[in-house]
Amino acid sequence: MFEEGSIFNQLLVERLNYFIYVVLLLIGLWAMIAKNNLIKKLIGMSVFQTAIILFYVSIGVKDGATIPIYLPEHDPHASHLPLESNASEVGAHGPQVLEASLVSSYTNPLPHVLMLTAIVVGVATLGLALSVCLRIYRGYGTVEEDELLEKLEQMDGQTGGGRGRRRPRKRSPRRNTQESNQSRKVTSAEKSGSQKPNSSRRPNPKNAKPKPSGESLNKSETKDENRPKPVRKRRKSPPRKPREDSSQ
Amino acid sequence: MTDHIIWILLFPLFGAVLCALSGGLSKKICYPVSIFSMLGSVWASVCTLIQAIESPVHEVSYILGGWSLDLYPRGVGIEFRADLLGALIALVVTGVGLIVSLYSKVPVQRETPGKEPMYYALFLLQITGLAGIALTGDAFNLYVLIEVAALTGYGLIALGTNRAAAATFNYIILGTIGASLYLLGVGYLYLKTGTLNMVGIREVIESQALYDSPSMQVAFVLVLLGILIKMAFFPFHAWLPNAYCHAPTTTSCLLAPLVTKVMIYVMIRMVLTVFGVEFSFESTWWTEVLPWLVVVAIVCAAVMALAQRDIKKMLAYLIVAEVGYMVGGVWIYNYYGLIGSIFHVISDACMTLCLFLGAGIILEKCKTTHFDGLRGLFAKMPLTMIGFFVGGFSIIGLPPTCGFFSKWYLITGGMVSERWEYMITLMFSTMVMVVLFFRLIERIHLAVDESGKNLGKGHGDLGLNADQTRFDEAPLSMLIPLLLAASIVIIVGIYNQEVVNQIEVFLRAYDLPTGVNYQ
The stretch A113-142 carries a mean pLDDT of: 91
> Among A166-175, B109-118, B217-226, B324-333, which is the least confidently predicted range?
A166-175
Report the pLDDT value the prediction gives residue B515, as an integer from 0 to 100.
67
Where does the pLDDT of residue B49 fall: very low under 50, low under 70, confident under 90, or very high at 90 and above?
very high
Poorest-pLDDT segment among A156-165, B58-67, B473-482, B491-500: A156-165
pLDDT at A239 over 70: no
B377 pLDDT band, cuts 50/70/90, is: confident
C-alpha distance from B400 to closest chain A C-alpha (Å): 34
Asked if the Cβ–Cβ distance from B373 to A166 is below 8 Å, we say yes
Of A52, A164, A225, the CB nearest to B373: A164
Residue B74 has pLDDT above 90, yes or no: no
Contacts with A164 from chain B: Cβ below 8 Å? 309-310, 368-370, 372-373
Nearest CA in chain A to B189: A56
Residue in A closest to B186 by C-alpha: A56
Residue of higher predicted confidence among A78 and B41 = B41
Facing A148 at nearest CB: one of B166, B173, B372: B166
- The chain A residue lying nearest B452, using CA atoms, is A174
Chain B residues near residue A162 by CB distance under 8 angstroms? 161, 163, 245-246, 310
To the nearest whole Å, the CA of B381 is away from the closest chain A CA by 20
Closest residue to B114, CB basis, from A52, A166, A247: A247
Q: Å from A11 to nearest chain B CA?
A: 16
B63 — pLDDT class (breaks 50, 70, 90): confident
Q: Which residues of B touch A111 (CB under 8 A)?
A: 187, 190
Measured in angstroms, the CA of A167 and the nearest CA of chain B are apart by 8
In this prediction, residue B451 has a pLDDT band, given cuts at 50, 70 and 90, of: low
Rounded mean pLDDT, A28-32 = 93
Q: Do B190 and A167 touch (CB under 8 A)?
A: no
pLDDT in the model for residue B464: 60
CB-closest option in A121, A162, A248 to B147: A121
Interface probe for A, chosen from B30, B71, B136, B180 (most Cβ of A below 10 Å), is B180
Helices then strands, each counted (H, E), chain A: 13, 0
Confidence of residue A198 (pLDDT cuts 50, 70, 90): very low
- Rounded to a whole number of angstroms, the distance from the CA of B466 to the nearest CA of chain A is 21
What confidence score (pLDDT) does residue B319 get?
92
C-alpha B314/C-alpha B439 separation (Å) is 12
Least confident of A76-90, A173-187, B341-355: A173-187
Are the C-beta atoms of A111 and A120 separated by less than 8 Å? no
Transcribe B150-204 into DSSP letters: HHHHHHHHHTS-HHHHHHHHHHHHHHHHHHHHHHHHHHHHHHHHS--BHHHHHHH
Q: Check whether A135 has a pLDDT greater than 70.
A: yes
Q: Which of A143-147, B72-76, B305-309 has the lowest mean pLDDT?
A: B72-76
Quote the DSSP letter at residue B347: H
Pick A125's closest partner by Cβ from B113, B161, B172: B172
Which has the closest alpha carbon to A91: A118, A113, A112, A70? A70
pLDDT in the model for residue A176: 41
**pLDDT on residue B219:** 92
Residues in contact with B268: Cβ distance below 8 Å, sequence separation at least 6, in sequence order? B85, B330, B338, B341, B342
Please give the Cα distance from B29 to B346 (Å, whole number).
31
Pick left, alpha or beta for residue B82 (phi over 0 → left; psi -120 to 50 → alpha; otherwise beta): beta
Confidence of residue A190 (pLDDT cuts 50, 70, 90): very low
Q: Report the pLDDT averaged over residues B183-209.
A: 89
Alpha-carbon span B146 to B134, nearest angstrom: 10
**B361-to-B63, B107, B366, B374 alpha-carbon distances in Å:** 42, 9, 8, 12
A-chain residues near B235 (CB < 8 A): none
Indicate yes or no: CB of B173 within 8 angstroms of CB of A41.
Answer: yes
Q: Do A32 and B180 lie within an 8 Å CB cutoff?
A: no
pLDDT for res B490: 93
Residue A78 Cα, gap to closest chain B Cα (Å): 24
Q: Are A166 and B209 in contact (CB under 8 A)?
A: no
Residue B284: DSSP 8-state:
S
Between B452 and B40, whose confidence is greater? B40
Q: What percent of chain A has pLDDT over 70?
A: 49
The reported pTM is 0.83
pLDDT per residue as tens digits for the range B340-349: 999 999 999 9
pLDDT given for residue A241 in this prediction: 42
